[in-house]
Chain A
Amino acid sequence: MSKRKIIFDTDPGIDDAVALLTLLNYEPFEVLGITSVAGNKGITHTTDNASKLIKYSQKDIKVYQGAHSSYLRVKGGLPAEGRDGGNVHGVDGLGGVGLPVDPNNISSISAIDFILDSVRTYPGEIEIISVGPMTNLALAIDQDEATMRKVKKVWSMGGGVFRGNVTPVAEFNYWFDTVSVEKVYSLGNDVDIVMVGLDATHQCIFDANDLAFIRLAAGEKGELIYAMVQDYLSAYWKFNKYIGIVIHDLLPVLMAIDPTVCSRLVHSNLRIVHEGLTKGQCIVDLVDSWKLNKNAYVVMDMDVRKCKELFMEVCFNQKVKETYQSVFPTL
């Protein structure tokens, strides 16, 4: 059987990094390439960070640099907004763990060209896991919408139905580039688009017990992840009063690997607000009151335990998962 063909569109970012380390360790997927986008950090940082993670994973794939800012700024010829100060992802976007960049795995082909070429080569086969702003996908749609309608699936981390993070109602990725979100969901009649938003991701808190387990039981990669998430952990204490972290971008990867980690999926209409107080809010018509086309599969609940076990198994190995099960027994 041929492997499922994946493109990972990302703005690493700590949670992106954990998601990518997991994805690259999953044998049944063929990851064709990684496309970078500005979001958590500026485009140079996110491209470099993707390169670092590919090198760390010793994979023979490339990162294709994408949009340096949101759709309207790119189209308007505006420069990138400065997003390279210290924030929850650390100054370098990877919590300061100091992995080396590998210039050889950074392609000269643009993200948009790479995505379109891949879909043309494998129409109806490409699944895009999109965990940053959707700018690259929107720019590809602008260039060749017919081709983009031949994407098999989009697994998207972004949005939220009943919660936000940038504002009370808006999640960062979707808020950062609302126009692109609208363009992508306009494909919803032809392409399955699965939204893994904040309602789902916040159910899956990796608490300090889980993280201590990862440090102690999951070898060198576990120690790397533990080191990487330390500032992120402090940020969750500061902003959410969690003793733990939400690894948002990991969840669409886990969904793509095993859709049964989702325990409630709602096929519904999704629209996004472009301006005003609720800018970036995605309005999901869970009860079909608008009777509009259903362009989104929205994940509302996760099986948290299953998510964690799957993560332990895929990112590390079967043995780590079994140890996890024995350290955290269930009834």
Chain B
Amino acid sequence: MDKMKLIIDVDPGIDDSLALLLAGVSPEFELMALTVVSGNIEVNQAARNARFAMKIVGRDDVTIAKGCELPLVRNYVDATDTHGKDGIGEVYYPKEEPIDHGSATTVISRLLRQYPYQITIAALGPLSNLATILKRDAEVLTLAKEIVIMGGSVNVCGNCSPVAEYNFWCDPHAAKIFFDAHLTNVTLVPLDVTYKILLTPNMREMIRQFKTPLAQYVVNITGFYVDFHWAQERTLGCVINDPLVIAYLLDRSILTLKKGHVQIEIEGIAIGESVIEFREKDSSKLSNIAQSVDSKKFFELFLTRVFSEQKDDIQLMIEKGMIL
């Protein structure tokens, strides 16, 4: 079977890094490029963090290209309060730069033209890179086979305001340009489903006991996140949004979808809100919106793939009801 050609547009980021691990170890993917954007952390450190994650899983071969340093219009606000000063929990502070492959937007455009209708894009950060491409050349993104976005919130509170999720709130104008382009085969994975993906202290403790460098890395980068979640919202454990997108590409039964028209608010107190009209009849405007998630299936997939050597222990813990 042909591998799925995948570009990940990303701003690592703690949960982003976990998504990169999952993608890096999954043989179903041909990782065409990681294109980096300022979001959780500014683009230069985000690129170093991406490289760091890929090295951990022995995938230093993957192209990493840096993109937008700033949102299109808004002043840039990072999320280092959540992700730590280095973007990955203040343990590693990666310093190694990725090899220069040119700009993210150029890399994405070139790959889409080279492999028309063959490439899936997983967009896990603010949509600044994709919007920049759209502004320059509205046609090129139509060459993507599928685009899956982590962002927005529908019927749950946002994480930057009561109605806004960080990726869209950080660069609402980019999100608006993206959704107003009405590309076909776009799927939105909002907070409504990612909130259900809670990496619990029990899971972290199990991973800690695996005692491999990869396990140590996962435990180390998520520690900060756990403390943040507790301090912020009295949640015990940390929500890991981004790996859900990658897992969905591997197993479509993890999410259920519903068609809706996505519009983005770009001003006022609701800035960054994703407004979804599920009654929209014009099919050209519709995207897929994730409605529900099988979190058990997600974690089984995520854990047994990233920690494939400890598969038996993971299965045993699931059987004992200790982690799921």
Contacts and interface: CB of A to CB of B under 8 A. Distances in A.
Interface in A237-268: 237-238, 241-244
A211 B202 CA distance: 9
A209 B317 contact: no
B226 interface: yes
Interface in A309-331: 323, 326-327
Interface residues of B, number: 19
B202 A208 contact: yes
Secondary structure class of chain A's binding surface, majority of residues: helix
Given A207-B322, A242-B322, A243-B202, A237 B234 contact: no
A233 B234 contact: no
A208 B209 CA distance: 12
Given A208-B205, A209-B202, A327-B234, A243 B227 contact: no
B98 interface: no
Contacts of B209: 234, 237-238, 243
A196 to B, nearest CB: 23
B94 interface: no
Given A209-B236, A213-B236, A243 B205 contact: yes
Interface in B197-230: 200-202, 204-206, 209, 226-227, 230
Contact of B323 (A216, A243, A326): A243
B316 interface: yes
Contacts of B78: none
Given A216-B227, A237-B209, A243-B317, A327 B202 contact: no
B97 interface: no
B201 A327 contact: no
A216 B238 CA distance: 13
B230 A209 contact: no
B322 A327 contact: no
A209 B234 contact: no
A230 to B, nearest CB: 10
Contacts of A208: 200-202, 204-206
A212 B313 contact: no
Nearest to B322: A243
B237 interface: yes
B316 A241 contact: yes
Which of B200, B205, B236, B237 has most A Cβ within 10 Å? B205
B226 A212 contact: yes
Contacts of B320: 241
Contact of B201 (A211, A237, A326): A211
Contacts of A243: 202, 205-206, 209, 317, 322-323
A207 B206 CA distance: 11
A301 to B, nearest CB: 18
Contacts of B226: 212
Contacts of A323: 234
Interface in A199-234: 207-209, 211-213, 216-217, 233-234
Contacts of B237: 209, 212
Nearest to B230: A216
B223 to A, nearest CB: 10
A247 to B, nearest CB: 16
Nearest to B227: A216
A209 B201 contact: yes
B312 to A, nearest CB: 10
B230 A207 contact: no
Which of A242, A243, A244 has most B Cβ within 10 Å? A243
11 contacts: A207-B322, A208-B204, A208-B205, A208-B206, A209-B200, A209-B201, A212-B237, A213-B236, A237-B209, A243-B205, A244-B205
Given A209-B202, A212-B237, A327-B234, 7 more contacts: A207-B322, A209-B201, A209-B237, A216-B230, A241-B317, A241-B320, A243-B202
